[in-house]
Structure 1
Amino acid sequence: MLNILLLLVGFVALIFGADKLVDAASSLAKKLGIPNIVIGLTIVAFGTSAPELVVNVFAAVNNNTDIVLGNIMGSNIFNVLGILGVCAVIYPLAVKRNTTWLEIPLSLLAAVAVYFVASDMLLDGAGSNLISRSDGLLLLLFFCIFLVYNLMIAKSGNDDEETEAKDYTYLKSILFIVLGLGGLVLGGKLIVDSAVAIAQAFGLSERIIGLTIVSVGTSLPELATSVVAVRKKNVDIAIGNVVGSNIFNIFLILGVSTVVTPLQVAPAAFTDIFMNIAAGLLLFIFIFTGRGRQLTRWEGIVFLLLYVGYIGLLISQE
């Protein structure tokens, strides 16, 4: 019971820390004259991915590698099947923005990239499957290319688009940045430690905990952002938030995690890797082959049913 309470406290601290860090850093950046588009594509984007990043760094340092890969795969699967499924049921998601058209195929390529960097036994004849530090550096290189590309695309568009930011004083911004970082560190450590303890207490694998409780908890910022966006009929924000987060999770977070600690990939993890690819492929097919470049309510229901089926499969494997 105590570990479950600590897990919940960890999620609250993690999300609070990320929120305060984004608000304070955005306010400070605006005062320093940094363009709105740069704030949106760096500080805000990094902020929504901060929960996954912090949890994974703690897990990697503690050598809880099943939580590392489970959190990333679980978050990406939940983002597409869970979040976009819910959003499409609320309001059909029509893609209008050109950059989103490019990000959806890129998120699918990122999912496929995980399979290739993890398949040492099949592709290289190695004795085990390992995502190495060199693989992590390669993923980070792709992330840098993705970030530079996005900045170039954004600057060629409307650079004056306003980015919402709190108006804090310099001192308040710095204090909230420190407070936000503290919340992230405290939350990340509590989540990893309590998740491992819960797994041991209930006889569950760290992989299952990472794929379910940890991944859904760290994806709460994306869920909140996308649901609010779709209720306001800002469909591109809802889709772009999820797809962008999935790209960040693989290229940035998996990249950083494997640079910290190379990841041994268990055979069971390929179920999750293939599910992540399947989710990305279905999103691509539904968006680009259907009428009106949209994700319909029925397709949203299909996503939700697939997610429920996937969770059922995980439970049956234990």
Structure 2
Amino acid sequence: MLLATGAILAGFITLMWSADKFVNGAAATARNFGMSPMLIGLTIVSIGTSAPEILVSLMAAMSGYGSLAVGNAVGSNIANIGLVLGITAIVAPLPVKSDVVRREIPLLMIITVLAGLLLIDNQLGHLDGILLISGLILTLYLIYRWQRQPDSNLQTTAGAETEEELPDISQAKATVLLIVGLLVMVASSRLLVWGATEVARALGISELIIGLTIVAIGTSLPELAASVVSALKKHHDIALGNIVGSNIFNLLAVMAVPGIVAPATIDPAAFQRDVPAMIAITALLLILALAGRKRQRIGRGAGVLLAACYLGYTLLLYLQS
């Protein structure tokens, strides 16, 4: 019990430290290469923080647990919007630029619906995996073009403020910060999950509750840490881009793994319950972003609503199980 408690404390401290280094490396990379912070968030940060999901899906697919791999991708997307974005908005309201509302978030909505429809037959085969990977390549190309050609109607003041806050670090040091930050972030997430699981077992909490809460949240801890730290450092584009990009990557890359590695039959509940929940919370994000265009931010009220939706989904899982 004492060792597990120490693991929780050590995991939390190292998680926040590594997230700080990782975000600094990402922000410096954006500055050094003349890339927008949003592009960095949508690509480097989102792919990096999705590493736990793709590792879990790969191991699950190779072990013949295709439903677990799909559930990992779908569940992570629900957690990323409801839990990660919700908490991030509560901690530091996120400014939303018009091009993100018109482009990236609607793109995420379209990908979410189309990826969900691939599961309508409760099968995920080679063709599905190829379609998802092809969609990832096309999406990365579109995102790159959009971010290199930003909306001309955007006010330049917000962009200037963000650019001034980017750290002036050499690219060699920024790369080290990215790699070390990511590795320590993933390792500290595992340590934190292990400690919390051991404490829960010692307190007599059931394996079901542990799986639905601690383990599910565990794979989203890198996204949560990176997004909260980015928001606190006022790198809002990296925070929002991380969440949107992670969800796109989860669907088009993580969910493609079982289709390519080991085609599988998917639990019908994934399409009947979890996919609709993922589509609904993504649609809610789009609505909140559109509603926040006048205020140009996703505020604390929206964050509370998203977090409440995630808690409701978790409660539904518990009651149905």
- The TM-score with structure 2 as length reference comes to 0.71
Runs of at least 5 residues in structure 1 that lack an aligned partner in the other structure: 121-128, 192-197
Contact 1:41 / 1:151 at 8 angstroms: preserved in 2? no
The match for 1:82 is 83
The match for 1:140 is 133
Contact 2:124 / 2:258 at 8 angstroms: preserved in 1? no
CA offset at residue 267 of structure 1? Answer: 2.0
Amino acid corresponding to residue 136 of structure 1 in structure 2: G
- Paired with 1:234 and 1:39, the residues of 2 have a C-alpha distance of 11
Amino acid corresponding to residue 288 of structure 1 in structure 2: L
The match for 1:219 is 220
- Paired with 1:12 and 1:89, the residues of 2 have a C-alpha distance of 21
Inter-CA distance 232–44: structure 2 relative to 1 (3 Å threshold) = closer
The answer to which of 69-78 and 257-266 deviates more is 257-266
The match for 1:47 is 48
Aligned runs of 1:102-141 on 2, under 5 Å? Answer: 102-120=103-121, 129-141=122-134
- Paired with 1:10 and 1:62, the residues of 2 have a C-alpha distance of 28
1:25-74 deviations in Å (ceiling 9; x for gaps) = 999x99xx977568776444421221211121111111222321221112
Amino acid corresponding to residue 140 of structure 1 in structure 2: I
- The TM-score with structure 1 as length reference comes to 0.71
Give the count of matched residue pairs: 301
Inter-CA distance 41–90: structure 2 relative to 1 (3 Å threshold) = closer
CA offset at residue 309 of structure 1? Answer: 1.5
The match for 2:66 is 65
- Paired with 2:268 and 2:216, the residues of 1 have a C-alpha distance of 20
Amino acid corresponding to residue 69 of structure 2 in structure 1: V
- Paired with 1:21 and 1:234, the residues of 2 have a C-alpha distance of 12
The match for 2:275 is 273
Amino acid corresponding to residue 113 of structure 1 in structure 2: L
Inter-CA distance 316–40: structure 2 relative to 1 (3 Å threshold) = closer
CA offset at residue 257 of structure 1? Answer: 3.4
The match for 1:317 is 320
Contact 2:189 / 2:221 at 8 angstroms: preserved in 1? no
Runs of at least 5 residues in structure 2 that lack an aligned partner in the other structure: 152-162, 193-199
Inter-CA distance 256–17: structure 2 relative to 1 (3 Å threshold) = farther
The match for 2:146 is 153
1:12-35 deviations in Å (ceiling 9; x for gaps) = 9999999999999999x99xx977
Inter-CA distance 227–101: structure 2 relative to 1 (3 Å threshold) = farther
Contact 1:21 / 1:47 at 8 angstroms: preserved in 2? no
CA offset at residue 315 of structure 1? Answer: 1.1
1:84-107 deviations in Å (ceiling 9; x for gaps) = 211222333331151454111121
Q: Provide the aligned C-alpha RMSD in A.
A: 4.6
